[in-house]
Amino acid sequence: MARICLFPGTFDPVTLGHVDIINRALPLFDKIIVGIGLNSSKEPMFSAEQRRDWILEIYKDEKRVEGAIYQGLTIDYCKTIGAHFILRGIRYVSDFEYEKTIADANRTLDKTIETIFLTGEPKYTSVASTIVRDIIRNGGNASPFLPDVVYDTLPKK
């Protein structure tokens, strides 16, 4: 059985922190699907298609990483794609508390799907999409936080 993993999130935008987690998870799984979840309570800065395209471009030479867009419960999407693992990145203790609550709920819904937590590299701890979006909105230089593929597509002021 292939070890298929879903890395769900909004990835608005894809940051170096996201790339760090994906790269360090590659040895653990046969396939990682980066799932851009559509969340009606969030108003993204970038379209879901743009975010998926970034993933596809960043990992164009790595066939084990795919980008996808999904809606609904993450646990249901895991079943659809045959994923038995959910990957989550942890920056702070508070992230773990929040993520553990979600992992516990998911385990209640389906005991065959396990959540795997990877802690981010310390140099990426401050890289949060929310902060990066604020930098972009205000015309700041977001390049230290973004893969070149993402930064190069941003409108320049």
The residues annotated with a catalytic role in the active site are: 18, 42, 91, 129
Q: State how beta strands 114-119 and 31-38 pair.
A: unpaired
Sequence-distant (6+) residues with CB within 8 A of 79 are 110, 113
Dihedrals phi, psi of 7, to nearest 5 degrees:
-110, 95
Structure tokens at 14: 């894809």
The H or E element spanning position 66 is strand 65-71
Q: How many helices (H) does the chain have, and how many strands (E)?
A: 6, 5
Spatial separation of the C-alpha atoms in residues 1 and 89, rounded to whole Å:
24
Structure tokens at 85: 């693992």
Q: How many residues does the chain have?
A: 157
